[in-house]
Amino acid sequence: MRHTFLRALLALSLALPFAGHAGAADDEPPLQTVQVGPNSHYVQGLSQLGSPKNQNFISNAGFVITPAGVVVVDALGSPRLAERLTQAIRRLTDQPVTHVIVTHYHADHIYGLQYFKALGAQVIAHGAAREYIQSDTARLRLEASRTELAPWIGASTRIVPADTWIDGPMAMKVGGVVFQIDHVGPSHTPEDLTVFVPSERLLFAGDLFFNGRLPFVGKANSSQWILSLERLLAFDARAVVPGHGAASTEPKKDIGMTRDYLRHLRQSMGKAVEDFVPFEEAYARTDWSAFEHMPMYGFANRMNAYNTYLLLEEEALGQKKR
């Protein structure tokens, strides 16, 4: 009883900086659960950049209710969002959150972890994320977020490591429900995980799949990413929850859009590298009409193209050295 009280007290203390925000109830972005299986739901983040106004609610999270507890997939982009997700879960079940599976350690998916840890949940992630956690990139990103996303990210916000680091496929059973966890990185990140729930015919794809908007490619291994998308299509899934965008009930079509975009990046920038065409000229020549109508195009496309150009230069250099 004492431990339960302490956990509740700690969870309350994490929420206090946000509860004092003037007009929080009116200002907060809607966070509504959408049912995607008999016992499974998700919340859909906004197609925006993270900001104080949206509490960094720019990614998805999902959960599955079992007879022995609730398994959450990804923790959202701030402790306050994790608290609000927990409140939404409580409206559906009294079962505690027992596990949080992290598909990858990008800020918009992990800054809510500390709230779930305070509730006693066990965090599961791939071991490749440990390098990121210990990096200057992670530290500087958190420092910047404390300014750019205040008050939702503040001095008390921290990056929470996993309780269980896996290095390959893992099957977990909670309340008789099986969760098949697979490592599909390095793709979007080195540590990418997917979570398949056979009894729900539901696949959580993380940021391998951006539905209805352009992905953020960064310095990803886009060649491996394309192969990983093909693996997603092999699952017997009735619904696929992406890291961003609406859940898909037509995975072949919707996942194909992300795959086709990555292929277009590699083909167009690869030809430019092969022909020694400078990036600016190559970007101006490329036909982007199939994708320019999509959300986040203005923010992400040029950056994606440039990073892909640099990646393919490295790949070409590596082939010459062999």
The mean of the pLDDT values for the chain is 91
203 neighbors 241 (Cβ within 8 angstroms): yes
Tokens of 276: 């020694």
Q: In the chain, what is the straight-line distance between the N-terminal and C-terminal CA atoms, in Å? A: 63
Which residue(s) pair with 188 in the sheet? none
Residue 60 has pLDDT above 70, yes or no: yes
The residue type of 35 is Q
Give the strand pairing for 177-183 and 193-197: antiparallel
The DSSP letter of residue 177 is E
pLDDT digits (tens, 9 = 90+) for 283-294: 999 999 999 999
Determine the Cα–Cα distance for residues 290 and 207; give it in Å rounded to an integer. 21
Better pLDDT: 185 or 209: 209
Return the CATH superfamily for domain 2-321.
Answer: Ribonuclease Z/Hydroxyacylglutathione hydrolase-like (3.60.15.10)
Q: What is the pLDDT of residue 319?
A: 74
Sequence-ordered alpha helix ranges (H) in the chain: 2-19, 24-27, 79-90, 107-110, 113-118, 129-133, 136-148, 222-232, 251-274, 279-285, 297-321
Residue 190 has pLDDT above 80, yes or no: yes
pLDDT digits (tens, 9 = 90+) for 81-94: 999 999 999 999 99
Residue 7 has pLDDT above 60, yes or no: no
Determine the Cα–Cα distance for residues 159 and 142; give it in Å rounded to an integer. 8
Other beta carbons within 10 angstroms of residue 88's beta carbon come to 16
At residue 317 the predicted structure's pLDDT band, cuts being 50, 70 and 90, is confident
For the chain, the farthest-separated pair of C-alpha atoms sits apart, in whole angstroms, at: 69
pLDDT digits (tens, 9 = 90+) for 139-163: 999 999 999 999 999 999 999 999 9
Determine the Cα–Cα distance for residues 205 and 245; give it in Å rounded to an integer. 11
User: What's the predicted TM-score (pTM) here?
Assistant: 0.88
108 SS3 class: helix
Long-range CB pairs of 40-46 (<8 Å, 24+ gap) are 40/64, 40/65, 40/197, 40/200, 40/202, 41/65, 41/92, 42/241, 42/247, 43/76, 43/85, 43/88, 44/245, 44/246, 44/247, 45/76, 45/77, 45/108, 45/244
Q: What is the pLDDT of residue 193?
A: 97
316 SS3 class: helix
Q: What is the pLDDT of residue 10?
A: 37
Give the strand pairing for 69-73 and 97-101: parallel
At residue 185 the predicted structure's pLDDT band, cuts being 50, 70 and 90, is confident
Q: What percent of the chain has pLDDT over 90?
A: 85
Residue 118 has pLDDT above 50, yes or no: yes
The residue type of 160 is V
Q: Average pLDDT of 175-191?
A: 95
At residue 17 the predicted structure's pLDDT band, cuts being 50, 70 and 90, is very low
Which residue(s) pair with 73 in the sheet? 62, 101
* Domain boundaries along the sequence of the chain: 2-321
Q: Average pLDDT of 6-15?
A: 36
Tokens of 286: 């490329």
How remote is the C-alpha of 224 from its chain's centroid? Answer: 18
At residue 2 the predicted structure's pLDDT band, cuts being 50, 70 and 90, is very low
Q: What is the pLDDT of residue 232?
A: 93
